[in-house]
């Protein structure tokens, strides 16, 4: 059985739409205030773009992609360029393990949110 390119695209589009749906449901459940403030359309766009950004940083597991979108929701869509600690971690995209990068991002974000991250 041979799968044609157009058939593969249908599967890929479905999988991406399902991933967006699951992540949107997740952020809506765990960050209802932030999602409400953004508005549904903007929040859906943030999830859509966030998945693409996460993948550009080699985050390919659903867990890491979801965590990246969580950071976008909590810290803002520009967190990757606004915070030096985020820029430093993400600059290692080609030399660091994605799980390790995400762990370091989450630790630094936690410090930022607690007011302990001094740049």
pTM comes to 0.89
Report the candidate in 78, 28, 31 with the shortest Cα–Cα distance to residue 50.
78
Q: How far is Cα 36 from Cα 42, in angstroms, rounded to an integer?
A: 10
Q: How far is Cα 71 from Cα 93, in angstroms, rounded to an integer?
A: 17
Confidence at 118, pLDDT banded by 50, 70, 90? low
Q: What is the pLDDT of residues 27-49, one digit of tens each?
A: 999 999 999 999 999 999 999 99
Pick from 19-28, 46-55, 110-119: least confident: 110-119
Q: How far is Cα 115 from Cα 84, in angstroms, rounded to an integer?
A: 14
Q: How far is Cα 94 from Cα 3, in angstroms, rounded to an integer?
A: 32
Q: What six digits make up the tokens of 28?
A: 């809506």
């Amino acid at each position: 059985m041979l799968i044609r390119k157009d058939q593969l695209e249908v599967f890929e589009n479905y999988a991406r739409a399902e991933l967006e749906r699951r992540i949107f449901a997740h952020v809506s459940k765990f960050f209802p205030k932030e999602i409400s403030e953004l508005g549904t359309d903007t929040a859906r766009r943030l999830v859509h773009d966030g998945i693409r950004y996460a993948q550009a940083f080699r985050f390919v597991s659903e867990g890491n992609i979801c965590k990246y979108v969580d950071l976008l929701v909590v810290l803002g869509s520009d967190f990757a360029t606004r915070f030096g600690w985020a820029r430093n971690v993400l600059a290692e995209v080609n030399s660091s393990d994605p799980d390790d990068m995400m762990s370091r991002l989450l630790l630094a974000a936690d410090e930022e949110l607690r007011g302990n991250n001094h740049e």
